[in-house]
Structure 1
Amino acid sequence: MRFGLLGSLLAQDADRECPVRGPKARTLLAVLLLNAGQPVSLDRLILALWAEGAPSTAEQSLRNLVARLRKALGDEDGDRLRAVRAGYLLRVADTELDTRLFEEGVRRARAAHTAGDSTRVLTETAAALDLWRGMPLLDLPDLAAEFLPQCEQWQEDRLQMLEWRFGAELQLDRPQAVVAELTGLTGEHPLREAFHGQLMLALHRSGQRAQALAVYQRLRRTLIDELGIEPGPSARELHQLILSEEQPAAEPGRPARTAPDQLPSDPLHFVGRSDSLATLGDALLRDTGRARYAVVSGMAGVGKSALAVRCAHTMADHFPDGRLFLNLRGATSGLTPLTTHQAATALLRGLGVEPGTVPEDPEAAAALLRSTLAPTRTLLVLDDAAGLAQVRPLLPSGPGCAVLLTSRSPMLTLEGAAHLRLATLSEAESVALVAVASGRTSANREVVTLEQGDLTRLVELCGRLPLALRIVAARLAARDALPVRSLVAQLSAHEDRLDQLELDDLSIRQSLGLAVSALRGSERRLDRRAADTLLAVGALNLPEYSAAQLAGTLGTSRVQAAAALDRLVDVALLDEIRLDRFVPHDLVRDFARELAEESGRRSELTSAALHWYVTAAGRSALALAPELHRHRQLPGGNGAEEVADEDAALLWGDAECVNLLALVEQADREERDAAGLLSLVQALLPYLRARGRTAELSQLNRTALSVARREGNLLAQAHALGDLAGSHFDAGRFADALALIEEALPLWRQLDDVGREQLYLNNRGMLLQALGRDREAVTALEEALALAVARGDAHNEALALSGLGNVAEKSDPRLAILHHTRSIEAGKRSGTPGVQMAGLCNIGCAHLRLDEPTEALRYFREALDQPAGAAHWTTERQCRLGLIDALHRLRRLDEATTACHELLDRTSTLQDPYGEGRARHALGLILRDQAEPAHALGQWRAALELLTTLDAQEVAELQDLIASAAAA
């Protein structure tokens, strides 16, 4: 299917028109396409569909529109148009959306134009322009106005490609081919000088001199009348050439003297970077009426210099007065950076100025350089700049000059400059670079098949960093008999990896060391603090880093830690992957670990980080489950950020979960701070259960159980057994959960903790009920209830009543409702918010058992309206399943389908196969009633595959449903 935004909104399979009908449905599709691959909130969609006049039923109408759109797109399973927590997300392949194809075509055309390949320019522009169907969003003018900047960019890209196409035709000496189209475009765009210049040239070369001069006069009058300005230098120069009857040369005005060309040799093995070359070419060749600057920044060894040299060679012909190259030695081992005077003198010498005539004053020398360059068309490549202060005095202002700078710093305050942050190579580019540079290619220049997998692993171990790739390629080239897999084995030992990446004058460690030494030796306190922060990064060795975490580790303020992290980003030692989340490159991570080991501070810093996490997790647990502190005495002391409410606690857990898993694994592996590890795992229980992170809950508590047994800590063992049982319950493994509860109960009796014994009796009863052992369940629950009432323990009383209600639901739903009502009351007395949500959900289930879906629906919705974090994911999951069942029984099938897809999205995000299987079972029943038996069968088969290894009551029913559907 092809979706179109360039013109009217169409979707085509070849020539089939899209079945999406009606302005609202087309508006919905257009907004989702404009944000393809990104979630779009309900509020945003409602605003697009109804502006400020949305009716009270807007949300329900939107869901109906989504259901219709899914059907129109053949997306019955909701895999393409997904309901997500934030709203809806439409998944579209790059080849399905004309704007993405168009943008990719623009990039390819730009690369061809920059390379000066006229034939390829014609091919690429023709492919991209063929996608153009008219003004973007032509049939949705309101939406086109809202997305005006994006639409204008597409239109500008089209005009730019037309310029490139006309230029290619003229370069190939085919002026007649463009005269007619350019005549029309100059009328449509009377202020676009480029079209007028191309038309003048085409007419002149076609022998129509008078018409060419008339085009110039028309342009001049328009510019004076409309803007009060004269035509630019290109148009004026071309006008003078035509007046003198000269055939314009590609580069008129070339000086007679030999122009300096100091560019190093074009890199022999240069791979990829076509988009980067196109970006730089566009920035340095654009006519702006002033000098053009471009800055290439990035980490050590990422290939900044190679890119700059390759770029300079591709555009050399555009700078006939000279190409100057100077290494400013901003980060060169054993050498100090050039001073302004040294740099100016070297550049002036390249321009033919005698050294003895260069003023001794640095400012005067820089001024002479700028004056010498002003009337020329010269390209300067200033490589490895230490910073903006070093290069600013050297920059020319003449409109014919361009400067290409490379630096580890992005120089963001350089006015008017284009900034390119260079990333590592792609996997395919990295493999190609190593294969070509090492000679590991076959006769037809393809990578030897037998080593393809080893090369892929090798480049990943090098972090796809060009400097590291050059080193391993040189090692392979030097030893023909050295198998790639041997080098892979050597690099796989992370503690020695940097030793393997040194050869002759090339060294990753040395290159990174220069950057850190510059920070450590700086007079700026911020730089020295940044060096300390990198040391902490190496000590902690976590997947991600944040300002709050490093402030807690280093004992600084969050503002100071944030500034230090930003500085590390500036010098390309860290990347900010999203707001306040930072990661180092793999090789920087190795280097930082070495720094931490050599400093002797690793143990101190890791202990401080673990303390910060324990305290922060304790605050999170307090916000999500205040009752937990009564049973576990979790920390909430100094050193961590305040967690203000449930939402903040959940967001904190979302951000730090990946780090917490790694931190616990490290602490266990190194057998340090067992008490801190056990406290941390216990404090994470409310977050993990609220978010339904069953796998993480199991992983952490298995570790905690192992540590507790190793330490002989009975209390921690009992907690870990119970929490691990909870993870099995959430995943539908009731028998495994029951075995763990049976193991934990004697420990609580040994510890003489009657309250926890009651709680575990309640859990035992609920598990027995889930396994269908109702009589044993009632015995356990009644024992727990009696103990709770006798001790005045309202929390355990609420749990026991809830369990008894679940057992009673099968035979006496009215009695079940009474038990659940009493459970809610007891939960209110105990101050446990999760009990109320569970009770409302259970009452809804009892009403379903009574075949009262309207009443059931009311309770499920009331339950789901409880505050975030009020209950575990298992409770929310049951509420959603009950709501789907109620809607199904009420024959509100579209709403039930939407609710099913929302649940599937959640279970997929949470990696909850038990919940996903139950949701697919429900969806199959709905699809069957929508007369879609084939799709229903597919859902049931998927559900059975997910549930067959679990203690799920739906397995038998699914087997019967599948057998009946297959036989039909």
Structure 2
Amino acid sequence: MNKIWDDDPPPKARSGIHTNMSRIKARLQDIGEDAYLHHRSGAYVLETDPENVDYHRFRQLRAQARTIEGTGDGEQAAQLLREAVGLWRGEPLGGLSGSWVARTRQNLDDEFLAASVERSKLELRLGHHADITAELAELIARYPYDEKLVELQMLALHRSGRVTSALEVYRAAHRRLTTDHGTETGHRLRELHQRILRGDPSLRPAPRRRPDAPNNLPRDVFTFTGRTDEIRQLTAMAAARANAVTVLAVDGMPGVGKTALALHLAHRLTPEYPDGQLYLNLYGHHAEQSSVDAATALGRLLRVLGVPAAQIPQGLEERATLWRTELARRRMLIVLDDATGHDQIGHLLPGTPGCLVLITSRRRLAGLDDVLSVTLDALPPDDATTLFDRVIGPRRHREALHIASVVRLCGYLPLAIQLVGSRLRVRPALRVADLLARLGDQRRRLSEIHAGNREITAAFELSFHELDEVHQRAFRLLGLHPGTDFTIESACALLQGDKATVEGVLDGLLDHHLIAEPQHGRYRFHDLIGEYARLLAGREPLAQRRQTLIRILDLYLFAADQADRLLHPQRERAAVVVTYLPPVRPGMASAEQARDWLETELDNLRQLVRHAAEERWTRHAALLPHVLSTFLEDAGHWDMAAELHECAVTAWHELEDQAGLATALSDLAKVRWRGGNLEHALRHATEGLAIRRGLGDQAGVAELLDQIGLVHWHRSDFEAAFDYCGQALDIRRSLGDLRGEAASLNSISILAYHQGDFSQAAERMQQALRVYQRLGDARGQLVTLNNWQEFELRLGRYASARALLEQAATISPDMSRQHQAIWLCNMANVLQHIGDYSAALDSYRRSSQIYGQVGDRRGISDVLNQTGFCYGLMDRDDQALAHHQRALSLAREISERYEQCLALRGMGEVYERAGRLETALDYYRQALEIARGIGDVYQESLNLDRMGSALVRSDPSQAERYWRQAIGEFERMGVPEGPAARLRLAQVERYD
């Protein structure tokens, strides 16, 4: 009574219960159910089999359905759930009220809803989409705010082809929730709505597998590694065309892992193709098996499908018709491995939608209509290392560094990695380091990549022998190219063909994946295939090999010389003569195109110089570095330039050409001092000077004297630098060498600036600029204006300094990276002085980045110091100190005393601002000593001024003496520091 009436029964509640129980008992007797209602101990008890109680029956059926579904019999499970849900009629405990009744009714209702959702999900998985849309509509009417029911109804309608209705169900649910509850639909429902709008193929139902479906797929490779992007791409292609005949081709070079990828993907997609998975090896490239023709292939496929041999027709067309008929009723996945071309494949393709065909081939299957292709390349290094680890299995010493080198020497090619890894796995005593040593010998590398009777060269040979004689010859001769890649022009030189013919040959090699085209118009071998090509090329007659190499070397020498003439038309250069004038040449008509060609071909040019030096092609080893010298210097490729000029020095020695040797030594000295290697630079320049004097070459003597002067400048030995540059200027004037005269004037003006002789510096700079303007030399004007602005900045004429920099940028907008770094640093200095610290720091960062790229350590040191001064002006002394410390360390590494002086003064200023005056004085004294040692009067005066400030409280008389010395020089130079120092001195004198 308490449960029915919430502990407040009416007066006649008990009699009412007895009356109702009597009626129920009579009703049970009338219908003959095996159920008995007894009154016992103040309660009524119903005794019956639980099967007779709908609720117990419902729960039992639901539990059975879950068990049956777990066995894979979804249809039987769905039938049980249908029966369970069908037991519900009307409202539970209808006509009753009270809190207990309400709770019980809610619990029962929740169970019904959960069972209905389970059943709907299962029906959807079974493909019964259309059958449940009406029932789901009724459930939504009963539970209008249940988003799970809305989601199921949308899926059912979408899968039934009723997309518009599915979208309307969402809109109706959205209106109900926003209108009645003021809430949005949930994330899952919104996402489903968007996926339906996009036509997301993953919303399609998963097909059910037939129990008799054939499957002859080979096992998935347990060591399969990587290819995530390719798998994602192929899977998306398959899903996007699920209602059509989908043909996917995986092509690539020998050993790249095409079959492994196709099988791995086939195993992953097996659930999507329930009517079977077929595999057929077409033996397109096999040493012992002939290629399978289309008729034979169809016979084998039909037998796997279960067609009796007697019912398979003999003719190709009849077999193809039967094959398409058999597939018309099936959704199957078919792997056709190692195909040779479209002639072999065409008859094997299904005719009706629903099947997926995966083809692997070493060739591009351009002849097949509607084929979607993915080309495999070598593995990324990390994936290659992982593959190697999986192949070799657990090892006592992983030798990670050696493993990385081994997979690199394997060209990151999966087959090569598998072969060398298998050798390690079966030979525990063999170390990775041992294998690395063998692979490191280029002459035996290919022969070392084997396991048992499997060799990497066998894979390459099969592809090579498939070529006709024209393509075989081309493959061999292209292997003689010493560089990392080649263009149509270099291929024409190697093959001695016209452009159209050679393009056709390259297309053929591309189709066979024996070369690659990573960028349009640029071709390359995979490392190991390149080794194989060079192996075959080595079998060509020696005379033919030599003639081929002369053609390629002459092509690059000729093209580089043409590029240099476009880029630097006014430079002094040696004469370049080639024996082979290439008929097909790189198209260069402007300085910009010339620079682009040189940047693009730079690695090839480096390899060519190395090859020429190693193989004693001395003329090319000598001339190519000279042709490239100005470009390499301007672009900041100083380490590379030094390497190539070393080759040139050796080559000129062998040619016994003293003039060429002196030029190479001068080129080498220039990039050595730019890279901070001053002692080597001085030695090379001095050796070159002796040769020029011996030859009586006054112009050459002046060039080397100027080089030696610049080395001394970078050593901060301004007096010696002034002497050498002065000698160079005198000689150049006597020879009427205007460009050389301007260069010397430029150098002397900088030296005068450092010595505090600003009037001479300005005069020399103006003279240099006038000469460069007369000659129309934009590069010379850029350098001069860049230097001149430093004088203006030092004199406090900031607007003039900025205008000069802007003029320089206008005259030479396409300046080299080295000049860009200088210009950015100079502009940052101007911005710092006018108080735009944020913009200054940004320019310093950009300048430092370029200096780092080109390897200019002196430039980096300068930017660090200037950045430190900028941070000091911003009261960010921690950053200021850190930058000066880094600048000091770098300047000491390269023996750059001027930058050491700046760094020490900057550190002193930081400590002075912090009140650590003794420490500050120590740094100022060190900086002062360097400034006096290098003869830089301005830096000497700055340090005297700072020392005066640091001593003003503890030793004012000494401070006055320092200030007076500094003021004298400041006022002589006319710099703005003079008035400021005199004001400080006056204040001290006032209080004395």
Q: Same fold (TM over 0.5)?
A: yes
For 2:598 and 2:688, the matched residues in 1 are separated by 27
Q: For residues 67-119 of structure 1, what are the alpha-carbon distances to aligned partners after superposition, in whole Å with 9 as ceiling and x for unaligned? A: xxxxxxxxxxxxxxxxxxxxxxxxxxxxxxxxxxxxxxxxxxxxxxxxxx9xx
Identity of aligned residues (%): 25
Instruction: Report the equivalent of 1:835.
Output: 780
For 2:118 and 2:613, the matched residues in 1 are separated by 74
The answer to whether residue 487 in structure 2 is matched with residue 539 in structure 1 is no
Contact 1:808/1:816, CA 8 A, preserved across alignment = yes
Contact 2:557/2:624, CA 8 A, preserved across alignment = yes
Q: For residues 299-353 of structure 1, what are the alpha-carbon distances to aligned partners after superposition, in whole Å with 9 as ceiling and x for unaligned? A: 2112211222232223333323222211111111243322222222222222233
CA RMSD of the aligned region, Å? 3.6
Instruction: Report the equivalent of 1:665.
Output: 610
Instruction: Report the equivalent of 1:35.
Output: none
The answer to whether residue 808 in structure 2 is matched with residue 860 in structure 1 is no
Q: For residues 596-654 of structure 1, what are the alpha-carbon distances to aligned partners after superposition, in whole Å with 9 as ceiling and x for unaligned? A: 111234333222211111111111111122233x5412348832424322211211111
* 1:562 Cα deviation from its structure 2 partner: 4.5
For 2:115 and 2:461, the matched residues in 1 are separated by 56
The answer to whether residue 419 in structure 2 is matched with residue 476 in structure 1 is no
Secondary structure, counterpart of 2:359 in structure 1: strand
Instruction: Report the equivalent of 2:254.
Output: 300
The answer to whether residue 545 in structure 2 is matched with residue 602 in structure 1 is yes
1:345-384 paired onto structure 2 within 5 Å: 345-384=299-338
For 1:760 and 1:493, the matched residues in 2 are separated by 42
Contact 2:689/2:701, CA 8 A, preserved across alignment = yes
Instruction: Report the equivalent of 1:10.
Output: none
* 1:726 Cα deviation from its structure 2 partner: 0.9
Q: Which amino acid aligns with 2:347?
A: P
For 1:845 and 1:217, the matched residues in 2 are separated by 77
Q: Which amino acid aligns with 1:487?
A: L
1:79-158 paired onto structure 2 within 5 Å: none
Contact 1:861/1:883, CA 8 A, preserved across alignment = no
1:819-898 paired onto structure 2 within 5 Å: 819-867=764-812, 875-898=819-842
- The one of 613, 625, 646 equivalent to 2:568 is 625
For 2:370 and 2:224, the matched residues in 1 are separated by 29
Secondary structure, counterpart of 1:599 in structure 2: coil
Structure 2 unaligned blocks of 5 or more: 1-69, 71-113, 142-148, 169-203, 915-992
Instruction: Report the equivalent of 2:732.
Output: 788
The answer to whether residue 682 in structure 2 is matched with residue 682 in structure 1 is no
The answer to whether residue 209 in structure 2 is matched with residue 265 in structure 1 is no
Q: For residues 806-864 of structure 1, what are the alpha-carbon distances to aligned partners after superposition, in whole Å with 9 as ceiling and x for unaligned? A: 23324332332222222122224445432221222222122123221210111122113
- The one of 497, 507, 513 equivalent to 2:455 is 507
Instruction: Report the equivalent of 2:19.
Output: none
Secondary structure, counterpart of 1:494 in structure 2: coil
Distance 1:740 1:501, change over 3 A: closer
* 1:786 Cα deviation from its structure 2 partner: 3.5
Q: For residues 115-149 of structure 1, what are the alpha-carbon distances to aligned partners after superposition, in whole Å with 9 as ceiling and x for unaligned? A: xx9xxxxxxxxxxxxxxxxxxxxxxxxxxxxxxxx
For 1:297 and 1:583, the matched residues in 2 are separated by 17
- The one of 553, 566, 569 equivalent to 2:494 is 553
- The one of 528, 536, 556 equivalent to 1:587 is 528
Contact 1:805/1:819, CA 8 A, preserved across alignment = yes
Q: Which amino acid aligns with 1:568?
A: L
Distance 1:216 1:676, change over 3 A: closer
TM normalised by structure 1 equals 0.71
Distance 1:848 1:413, change over 3 A: farther
Distance 1:405 1:505, change over 3 A: farther
After alignment, is 551-560 or 925-934 more displaced?
551-560
For 1:516 and 1:712, the matched residues in 2 are separated by 45
Distance 1:966 1:772, change over 3 A: closer
Instruction: Report the equivalent of 2:346.
Output: 392
For 1:466 and 1:315, the matched residues in 2 are separated by 23
After alignment, is 498-507 or 713-722 more displaced?
498-507
Q: Which amino acid aligns with 2:557?
A: V
For 1:298 and 1:791, the matched residues in 2 are separated by 63
Distance 1:840 1:511, change over 3 A: same
The answer to whether residue 263 in structure 2 is matched with residue 315 in structure 1 is no
Contact 2:482/2:611, CA 8 A, preserved across alignment = no
* 1:381 Cα deviation from its structure 2 partner: 0.6
Q: Which amino acid aligns with 1:586?
A: D
Q: Which amino acid aligns with 1:606?
A: L
* 1:721 Cα deviation from its structure 2 partner: 1.0
Distance 1:741 1:493, change over 3 A: closer
Secondary structure, counterpart of 1:573 in structure 2: coil
Q: For residues 257-277 of structure 1, what are the alpha-carbon distances to aligned partners after superposition, in whole Å with 9 as ceiling and x for unaligned? A: x33222123334434445544
Contact 1:728/1:736, CA 8 A, preserved across alignment = yes
The answer to whether residue 427 in structure 2 is matched with residue 487 in structure 1 is no
Q: For residues 735-767 of structure 1, what are the alpha-carbon distances to aligned partners after superposition, in whole Å with 9 as ceiling and x for unaligned? A: 543333222122112223222223333333444
For 1:783 and 1:286, the matched residues in 2 are separated by 78
Q: Which amino acid aligns with 1:554?
A: L
Contact 1:319/1:378, CA 8 A, preserved across alignment = yes
Q: Which amino acid aligns with 2:756?
A: S
The answer to whether residue 556 in structure 2 is matched with residue 613 in structure 1 is yes
Secondary structure, counterpart of 2:796 in structure 1: coil
1:693-704 paired onto structure 2 within 5 Å: 693-704=637-648
Contact 1:383/1:407, CA 8 A, preserved across alignment = yes
For 1:592 and 1:893, the matched residues in 2 are separated by 58
Secondary structure, counterpart of 2:811 in structure 1: coil
Structure 1 unaligned blocks of 5 or more: 1-116, 118-172, 183-192, 228-247, 442-446, 522-527
Secondary structure, counterpart of 2:242 in structure 1: coil
* 1:554 Cα deviation from its structure 2 partner: 2.6
For 2:496 and 2:512, the matched residues in 1 are separated by 23
Secondary structure, counterpart of 2:443 in structure 1: helix
Contact 2:120/2:132, CA 8 A, preserved across alignment = no
Q: Which amino acid aligns with 2:575?
A: Q
Contact 1:704/1:720, CA 8 A, preserved across alignment = yes
Instruction: Report the equivalent of 2:109.
Output: none
* 1:468 Cα deviation from its structure 2 partner: 1.9
For 2:737 and 2:671, the matched residues in 1 are separated by 25
For 1:194 and 1:753, the matched residues in 2 are separated by 92
* 1:774 Cα deviation from its structure 2 partner: 4.2
Q: How many residues align?
A: 748
Q: For residues 485-536 of structure 1, what are the alpha-carbon distances to aligned partners after superposition, in whole Å with 9 as ceiling and x for unaligned? A: 3333222222112212234452210111111221235xxxxxx34x444323
Instruction: Report the equivalent of 1:105.
Output: none
The answer to whether residue 522 in structure 2 is matched with residue 578 in structure 1 is no
For 2:135 and 2:339, the matched residues in 1 are separated by 46
TM normalised by structure 2 equals 0.69
Distance 1:362 1:718, change over 3 A: same
Instruction: Report the equivalent of 1:744.
Output: 688
* 1:960 Cα deviation from its structure 2 partner: 3.5
Contact 1:650/1:869, CA 8 A, preserved across alignment = no
For 2:369 and 2:420, the matched residues in 1 are separated by 39
Contact 1:647/1:868, CA 8 A, preserved across alignment = no
Max Rg structure: 2
* 1:796 Cα deviation from its structure 2 partner: 1.9
- The one of 293, 298, 307 equivalent to 1:339 is 293
Contact 1:200/1:213, CA 8 A, preserved across alignment = no
Secondary structure, counterpart of 2:770 in structure 1: helix
Instruction: Report the equivalent of 1:814.
Output: 759
Distance 1:750 1:177, change over 3 A: farther
Contact 2:251/2:361, CA 8 A, preserved across alignment = yes
- The one of 277, 284, 287 equivalent to 2:238 is 284
Q: For residues 349-405 of structure 1, what are the alpha-carbon distances to aligned partners after superposition, in whole Å with 9 as ceiling and x for unaligned? A: 222334454444433432332222122112111000112332123211322211111
